[in-house]
A and B are shown apart, each in its own frame.
Chain A
Amino acid sequence: MGDESDPVKRVDAMKKKSSSAPAGTASPETLAAAGAAFVGQGRFKEAVEQFKSLVRLDPRPEWKRSLVDAYVGRARALAGKGMVKEALIVLENTIAANGVAHDPWLYLGCLIRQGHHQKALAYCLRHGGEAGSDDGRLADLLAALRLAGQSPPAAGREDNGKSKAAEPVLRCAEQALAAWSGGRSDAEVDQALQGISLRSAFKPLRLILKSQIAGADNRENSRKLLGMIPAESAFAGWRRAALAALAGSDDLLAEWGGLSPAQRRYVAEARGLSADSLRCLDELEQAGRIGPAALFTALLKRADSLPAAAVRAGCLELVPGAPDRLPQFEARFGVLAPLDRHRVQALVAEARGAWREAERHWLDVVAALDRQADPEAPLAKAVIYRHLVRLVRTHEELSDEDFRGDLVAKYLEDGLTADPEDLEGTLDLIGHYHERGETRDWNQWVDRAVQRFPRDSTVLMAAIEAAAERNAYKKAATFAKKLLEIDPINQQARRRMIELRVAHARKQMRSDRPDLAWKELAQAAEWERPDAPSGPLRIAQGLVGQRLHPGAGSDARLAEGVRLSGDGVAGRLRAALEARLMGWSDRTLAPLLKDLQKGLKGSPDKDQVLAVIGLLGQREVRATKGTAAQLLDWVGSWLAQGAGNAWSPAEFQSIAETLVALKAYEILATFVRHVPRQDAGEPVYRFYRIVARTEGRADRLDDREDEELMEILDQVVARQDFILSNRITRYLDDDETGVGGSGGGGPRFSFDGGEPDVGLLLEFAQGLEAMLGDVSEMVAELGREGAVETLMQKFGKSPLKTMPEDLRRQLCEAMVEKASAPKVRPGRRRGRGRPARPEIDFDE
């Protein structure tokens, strides 16, 4: 549409040319259309002008109606901006010859807002009946105005029947209000209230006064009475004040800021508060809205009229939010004690995000607590150390381990020294050491925890894990028994014990001792609940049974185990895996593999893929060398056929993680290729595409991938997907390859076929000699196994970290062997030359 078809634009253009006489240059119809358009656009002032001109030309009824509409619109707009006086002037233009306003509620609202109560009352009486009329809202308004002491001017009184009928009710209401306000007895007030019908417009008065008589003694009843007054009533403000007057002090305080001045005055009078208290509350409320500094100043101003200790405590609370008031505080109340000062400074630093500074001040608080004889001081120290742990974990600038060491462990240990009863802290520390693979500290703290919290199920579960890690099965069983005494339905403990026994049975099988394995599995069965049979245990029993007592019984056990393990490919794979772990030869495995092959027909669905992935992700698959490769050889191609299923990002991530852990990058690449094009932008898919391409090695990233990874990282951080962001960070740190790593810097040896740095090796070898004394102590304290593990960890952080794990383990075992040679019992040596593999001390 061109400009000429828009009446507003045409009129605007004409106005520019000649603002004095627009009507003379356009047709009345155009001007009317422009006026209507102005109304539509909310340009009421211009609409009024337009229609005024038209009405002057020709007072057509429709133009007069439009003019009134424009006036009302203008008045509404003005009232909306709080310009009630101006709105009222505009509305006067809409009053018809009979005195009726075009929008009476707007008109009444403006009158009341402007304080013209009598005029409003007169208008209501003249044009809308009065209290007792069938218009509830109007009657409610009239009742409120009358009770507020407003009498209509003589000219406004209509001597009609309704008015007359309402007079006795009004008198009763006034009497009741006067009696209550004058402090007359409840009975007198009640009697006056009897004259107010519950159908009359004065019903809210009756309800409010009844509630106030019932008072705080019958608060529930009072609330119910007040709840009967509708929120849109003119009595609603009084109702809210009445409710506040009845409320408990805490509730009233919470409500105070939302009360109007009249409501606050009502509460103060009803509760007998002093005028000064009311002023004080108002001042504090107002200052509190501005901020802590203003509140601090308001409190200090009030210091003479309030208890000094309370003012001091209040001001001290505000100082962290208004640190520049600290000198003022100290000038008024004296210098802060070191503890308080450092605490305040720590809070101020935290508010600024200055974490190193906050840490320093919190440590100063701890030092100040050390000097105190307060019995609460140790607990306070523990609280602060836990806080420091949280800060170190959440703020990178505090957790620079290369320079500052493991601060999380340090603060956790310090906290536990201050408060050894802190179970949560103990578990946190145990978890921390476990996660970092620091076996020695882990075991040490688990032992301490078991002594201190012998009946805590989480501690006992950690003790089972720690004992299992040391291959101390008997000890693990002892803990598990204790745990099941406390918590007989603990499935996790039962499952773990079965796993441990089955794992040991495998070793017996590999040593060609099916008889011992059978006994082992019988012991595992003791941990089974009759209502929850274990699939892996049944499979193991079936396989060992086939060796010991071939026959239908063993086959049936195996079949039951397969069924319990999910049947299908997952169950059959479980059986084949178990047989493989027991050291079955290819020939003996053949029937199981044949059975497995039968299941590998066609593409797997989602459930099948997820079940197999769950099995591949189990610890025994990864723990036994070559097993993962073997399993992937069996089911890898079949699994890849399932890549075309529709995977959610979460499912995809779970599958991808297992594949990465098994280094099955080709299968991962197949899954990535099957991601639908419309989903290709999803960060999860993009990240694993890069992982698949680089085979999990960040040093193989090209520039474009490097950039893309940064972009993905930004995206996942923005959507607060911290799991994926941590995963990407780990990938960049090369954690999963074991190359590089996030540990400290320093020189690295290359074991990838290149020439190692001979100088470095020599230097390191000299260091090894010096370490042997320590290793002897280690063996004495931790046993040979523990010493080997501890050395493994130490070397994992040393320049030898790049050494292949097997080689590293051999080195550690040799060191332990050498260090403990004089003490070793002859029977435990397996020969000379290559150091003996440490035995599993099952009966530790």
Chain B
Amino acid sequence: MNDPFFVLGVSESADDDEVKRRYLALVRAFPPERDPERFQAIRAAFEVLRTARGRLEQRLLRSGGSALRRLKLSCLEPATPGVTGRVSRATVAALLLEGAAACVDPARDGKAGGPPRGMTGSGEG
């Protein structure tokens, strides 16, 4: 199972109220009829973290990964808080060429198989 703190998006010091609040918010955002798998994961994480005992058990008995996750999350913060950046043409071009290569990937079975209409050669080279 994934780190339940990660799944619920709460810190290890979260209390009962915070865990419950976050759980309800996530359940509203990902109701079971729309995203059953995610709902199950959220539900399972809540069951683990709903009590102080459960949270302590996670902290003491599992090697976790929460600290590492927090560290990575800090890397995802914008360099200047609140300011988003601009995407360069070069980056878009790289993405498009990557996408073009992927959509005609010769190593991919089936995808590169059928010749486009009107383009088939006679085969007599």
A128 vs B52: C-alpha distance in the bound complex, in angstroms? 66
A386 vs B53: C-alpha distance in the bound complex, in angstroms? 11
Decide yes or no whether A780 CB sits under 8 A from chain B.
Answer: no
Give the most central of A254, A419, A422: most B CB within 10 Å.
Answer: A254
Contact A96 B122 (CB under 8 A): yes
A232 vs B104: C-alpha distance in the bound complex, in angstroms? 9
A-B contact pairs, 12 of them (CB 8 A): A95-B121, A97-B125, A105-B112, A105-B115, A110-B106, A112-B100, A235-B96, A237-B96, A249-B73, A253-B73, A281-B76, A347-B63
Specify which chain A residues have a CB less than 8 angstroms from the CB of B56 in the assembled complex.
Answer: 376, 379-380, 383
Decide yes or no whether B61 CB sits under 8 A from chain A.
Answer: yes
A764 vs B13: C-alpha distance in the bound complex, in angstroms? 59
CB distance from B9 to the nearest CB of A (A): 5
List A94-140 residues whose CB lies under 8 Å from chain B.
94-98, 100-106, 108-110, 112-113, 117, 120, 127-129, 135, 137-138, 140
Q: Mark A85-101, 1 if CB is under 8 A from B, else 0.
A: 00100000111111011
7 smallest A-B Cβ distances: which pairs? A313-B67, A100-B121, A79-B106, A109-B106, A237-B99, A272-B78, A272-B85
A249 vs B65: C-alpha distance in the bound complex, in angstroms? 16
Residues of B within 8 A of A (CB): 6, 9, 52-53, 56-57, 60-61, 63-80, 83-89, 91-107, 109, 111-125
Partner of A383, one of B60, B123, B124: B60
- Name the prevailing secondary structure of the A interface residues: helix
Query: A258-266, A573-581, A591-599: which one contacts chain B?
Result: A258-266
Contact A241 B95 (CB under 8 A): yes
Residues of A within 8 A of B (CB): 61, 64-65, 68-69, 71, 75-76, 79-80, 82, 84, 87, 93-98, 100-106, 108-110, 112-113, 117, 120, 127-129, 135, 137-138, 140-141, 144-145, 147-149, 177-178, 180-183, 215, 232-238, 241, 248-250, 252-254, 256, 260, 262-263, 265-266, 268-274, 277-278, 280-281, 284, 295, 299, 306-307, 310-311, 313-314, 316-318, 320-321, 343, 347, 365, 376, 379-380, 382-384, 386-387, 419, 422
Contact B111 A232 (CB under 8 A): yes
Contact B106 A87 (CB under 8 A): yes
Contact B104 A105 (CB under 8 A): yes
Contact A310 B95 (CB under 8 A): no
- Given A129-B118, A252-B76, A310-B74, the answer on whether A181 and B87 have CB atoms closer than 8 Å is yes
Contact A68 B106 (CB under 8 A): no
Contact A272 B80 (CB under 8 A): yes
Give the most central of B53, B57, B123: most A CB within 10 Å.
Answer: B123
Specify which chain B residues have a CB less than 8 angstroms from the CB of A147 in the assembled complex.
Answer: 92-93, 96
Specify which chain A residues have a CB less than 8 angstroms from the CB of B66 in the assembled complex.
Answer: 317
- Given A105-B113, A238-B92, the answer on whether A79 and B125 have CB atoms closer than 8 Å is no
B118 nearest CB neighbor, chain A only: A128
Contact B69 A253 (CB under 8 A): yes
Specify which chain B residues have a CB less than 8 angstroms from the CB of A94 in the assembled complex.
Answer: 121, 123, 125
A128 vs B119: C-alpha distance in the bound complex, in angstroms? 6
Specify which chain A residues have a CB less than 8 angstroms from the CB of B112 in the assembled complex.
Answer: 103, 105-106, 109
- Given A76-B106, A112-B104, A232-B103, the answer on whether A316 and B67 have CB atoms closer than 8 Å is yes
A272 vs B76: C-alpha distance in the bound complex, in angstroms? 9
Contact B124 A277 (CB under 8 A): no
Contact A320 B106 (CB under 8 A): no
Specify which chain A residues have a CB less than 8 angstroms from the CB of B94 in the assembled complex.
Answer: 262, 265
A253 vs B3: C-alpha distance in the bound complex, in angstroms? 13
- Given A178-B89, A383-B60, the answer on whether A422 and B53 have CB atoms closer than 8 Å is yes
Specify which chain A residues have a CB less than 8 angstroms from the CB of B68 in the assembled complex.
Answer: 284, 295, 299, 314, 317-318
A94 vs B124: C-alpha distance in the bound complex, in angstroms? 7
Partner of A277, one of B69, B76, B113, B125: B76
Contact B106 A177 (CB under 8 A): no
- 6 more contacts with CB within 8 A, not counting A180-B87, A272-B80, A306-B74, are A145-B97, A232-B103, A249-B76, A310-B70, A313-B71, A314-B70
